[in-house]
Amino acid sequence: QVQLVESGGGLVQPGGSLRLSCAASGIIFSFYDMDWYRQAPGNERELVAGITRGGITNYVDSVKGRFSISRDSAKKMVYLQMNSLKPEDTAVYYCNAKHWRAYDMRYWGKGTLVTVSS
């Protein structure tokens, strides 16, 4: 059974850092591009960062230079290092796995809440 389990969310003050983790199971990890999405109340879910199965990364403009996505093939883990956090980063962050060829093979975690506030 496919599972994506996020962890690492919490409350942090502006300017602080958090590291989110996503543990994947039930998939051939090397066949999947991995993404982090986020959704704030009243907003549409947006792609924050992605990393292909080959290690190529991309970021939404608003987090470039502050966030870094990485993956560990041996552990089947994906990470999102978030630095210089801003209140507008507050959202539920979701891990997503997307098969490199079978577009409908896409899986979501349940999310982890990140709150950036004084």
**Mean pLDDT in residue range 89-102:** 96
**Mean pLDDT in residue range 67-82:** 98
Could you tell me how many residues make up the chain?
A: 118
pLDDT tens profile 4-48? 999 999 999 999 999 999 999 999 999 999 999 999 999 999 999
Dist CA 67 CA 60 (whole Å): 10
Q: Is the pLDDT of residue 103 over 90?
A: no
Q: What is the chain's mean pLDDT, rounded?
A: 97
Q: Which residues of 47-84 are buried (b: 16+ CB within 10 A; e: fewer)?
A: ebbbbebeeeeebeeebeeebbbebeeeebbbbbebee
Q: Is the pLDDT of residue 115 over 90?
A: yes
